[in-house]
Amino acid sequence: EEQLLESGGGLVQSGGSLRLSCEVSGFSFSSYAMSWVRQAPGKGLEWVSTITGYGGSTKYADSVKGRFTISRDNSRNTLYLQMNSLTPEDTAIYYCAKDAVVVVPWAGWFDPWGQGTLVSVSS
């Protein structure tokens, strides 16, 4: 069974930093592009970032470009999101998600998703 488990969320002050982790199991991690998608409380879904299977290419939403960095450690089956210069607008549940199929560089549709980790940024 494919499983994704996020951690690292919490309460942080505006301007602060957090690093999210997503530990996966049940599939060949390095074969799949991985993404972060966030959801502000009571709101819709916003794609944040994607990284290829071997980490050579990344993409970011304009809203986080220059502040967030996606990375992965295939030896640890773990995806990361380093978040700097956080603002209250970054408050959301952050989900990691696996590309549903193996496509180079990425497919862009997601299955499965982790259970999410809540990031709250206070002003």
Partner 1 sequence: DIQMTQSPSSLSASVGDRVTITCRASQSISTYLNWYQQKPGKAPNLLIFATSRLHSEVPSRFSGSGSGTDFTLIINSLQPEDFATYFCQQSSSTPYTFGQGTKVEMK
Chain positions contacting partner 1, by CB under 8 A? 35, 44-47, 50, 59, 61-62, 95, 100, 107-116
Residues in contact with 28: Cβ distance below 8 Å, sequence separation at least 6, in sequence order = none
| C-beta closer to partner 1: residue 3 or 14 | 3
Q: Which two tokens stand for residue 61?
A: 């939403």
| C-beta closer to partner 1: residue 16 or 108 | 108
For residue 47, which of 3, 123, 102, 113 has the smallest C-alpha distance? Answer: 113
Nearest approach in angstroms of CB 104 to partner 1 is 14
What are residue 15's phi and psi, to 5 degrees? 95, -10
Nearest approach in angstroms of CB 39 to partner 1 is 9
